[in-house]
Amino acid sequence: MRKHRLRLPSAGATAAFIGLSMIVATAAAQSVSVAPATMPRVGTVDERYQSYNVEMVEVTGGRFWRPYGLDPKASRRQAPPSAVGTAQGHTPTGMSSTLHAYRPPIDLTNARLRKLAAALGPSYMRVSGTWANNTYFADTDQTSGDPPPGFGSVLTRQQWRGVVDFAKAVDAGIVTSFAIGIGTRDAQGAWTAEQAGRFLAYTRSIGGRIVAAEWMNEPNLAVMGGAPAGYSAADYGRDFKIFHAFARHAAPDMLILGPGAVGITSGHADAAALTAHNILAASSPAHVDVLSYHHYGALSLRCVAQDHQTTPAAALSEEWLRRTDEALAFHRKLRDELEPGRPIWLTETAEAACGGDPWAGTFLDTFRYLDQLGRLASQGVQVVAHNTLVASDYGLLNDKTLEPKPNYWGALLWRRLMGTTVLEAGVPIREGLHVYAHCLRGTSGGVALLAINNSRTRSTSLALPVEADGFSLTAEELEASHVSLNGHELGLGASDELPAFRERRLGPGDVELAPASITFLAIADARNPSCRS
């Protein structure tokens, strides 16, 4: 077998990895066989399939999800005088201000942040979110005043230039949305393109490009996001047609995504209701280029503290993990009915809405993160953008230290091993074994498997016909903020260098997968004809 050592960019990292104790060749009684050489091709994903969000409120500074344990009174403190935009920042309509706390603008020049984001590239960087619906583009480098009437926050040229520079540095295509609040509307309440036009023109003037955009963030929650009271599906249809004509003229190479709705409520009975179906139907004949949607399996404890929608105990369950299938099925049906043939992008997703639950930053959520990538790729979704790169509990990076969380290490393994050609693994999903297959990145004929054992108590086995290099993620405690690869805890080096990921040679024969473990298998000598370059 040709050696497949996965090395990440580093400045001389010399971490020594101990042997894997959780995965060993063994004669398991109930082994499941796989045939990497004959796994058929089922499709492809975008080269930037695994992507991430940077919320607009991170760029401008403002009130975002309040950290767990922070006193609401402390969260209402005034922003420092040097902060750009309003002193406090706005709160989405209908939300309690106690849910949020001020955060300063993100430093997109930070060397650690750039290094870690670049390691996930190429990717898409979506700069949007609920707060973007009411963000005023100042078209000036500095501003210390409040936004104009009808807006909630201010984005300066300097801040947006920082986004463009960051995207270039980390090989991230920019995806965004536009302001749609009361400040963007004429006397009759219709949307106008003046703000959007200035925003696009400035982006071009500094050598930037917006690859794709949703007109607004989550239009089925339009009023919460800043649209006028009483806003209906017909209003959305009128405004989207205005936007569509504007975008085709002002940015003909920009993909139009939509509708970008969240949830799976149909609401066919009331044609005026702001549902994914109704707003997309009202937009016709102004078609989208890509059917986009948002998905969260639950609301976090911040928003439903008295009615928990999920728990740590459920985080590895089949019922929890398959919720992503249910959301996709709803939006695929919508696509087939109203936008047949369009690609599908999931442009915002995480463990739970409202910033994520306290365990969103632990190894417990890495099962959902990677299982979701595997499921959606096998079903034809082209892009998945995680919310967020570095804000709140669901961020891939700690928003105080920028240290990688467990999901980041899972993302890095996916990026380095799982290519864009998707294969049929031939192993039905069951508790204790989820297997996903892609062509092995950078290796002609090679196959990469992602094998997830979501049982907390039982090991399981895969029978491999040839040798493989194994990379297994485990943690002593599932709700730990650190994770081990092949038995060695992952972390950055003294100069922020990424570690070299060293493999464990496995097979041929039965390979045991320990309870609550996630294993990537790089099979360089699979000789799969669908993977020959």
Q: Pick from 420, 453, 488: which residue ends a domain?
A: 420
Same domain, 92 and 226: yes
Domain that includes residue 500, residue range: 32-40+424-531
290, 212 Cβ separation under 8 angstroms = yes
**Same domain membership, residue 447 and residue 363:** no
Domain assignment present for 15: no
Is 8 part of any domain? Answer: no
- Statement to judge: residues 100 and 120 lie in one domain: yes
Residue 392 lies in a domain: yes
Is the backbone of residue 233 left (phi > 0), alpha (psi -120 to 50) or beta? Answer: alpha
Same domain, 371 and 468: no
Cβ(399)–Cβ(17) below 8 Å: no
Last residue of a domain, one of 401, 420, 439: 420
For residue 369, what are the contacts with CB-CB under 8 A and spacing of at least 6?
A: 351, 386, 407, 410, 411
Task: Spell out the per-residue pLDDT of the chain, length 533, in tens.
Answer: 343 444 333 333 323 332 333 333 333 347 899 999 999 999 999 999 999 999 999 999 999 999 998 766 654 444 554 444 443 456 676 667 788 899 999 999 999 999 999 999 999 999 999 999 999 999 888 776 689 999 999 999 999 999 999 999 999 999 999 999 999 999 999 999 999 999 999 999 999 999 999 999 999 999 999 999 999 999 999 999 999 999 999 999 999 999 999 998 765 667 789 999 999 999 999 999 999 999 999 999 998 877 779 999 999 999 999 999 999 999 999 999 999 999 999 999 999 999 999 999 999 999 999 999 999 999 999 999 999 999 999 999 999 999 999 999 999 999 999 999 999 999 999 999 999 999 999 999 999 999 999 999 999 999 999 999 999 999 999 999 999 999 999 999 999 999 999 999 999 999 999 999 999 999 999 999 999 98
Q: Tens digits of per-residue pLDDT, 27-53?
A: 334 789 999 999 999 999 999 999 999
Claim to verify: residue 400 and residue 432 sit in the same structural domain: no
CATH number of residue 389's parent domain:
3.20.20.80
Closest CA to 465 of 520, 521, 529, 509: 509
Number of separate domains in the chain: 2
- Domain-ending residue, one of 396, 420, 444: 420
Which two three-digit tokens encode residue 332?
């695929």
Q: Do 399 and 510 sit in the same domain of this protein?
A: no
Domain membership flag for residue 378: yes
On whether residue 308 sits in a domain, the answer given is yes
- Asked if residue 203 belongs to a domain, the reply is yes
Q: Examine the domain organization and report whether 477 and 350 are in the same domain.
A: no
Q: What angle do CA 386, 389, 391 make, to 5 degrees?
A: 110
DSSP-based three-state secondary structure for 201: helix
Residue 412's nearest CA partner among 477, 485, 340 is: 485
**Domain-located, residue 112:** yes
Backbone φ/ψ region at 38: left (φ over 0), alpha (ψ -120 to 50), beta:
alpha
Return the residue matching tokens 């501003």.
143
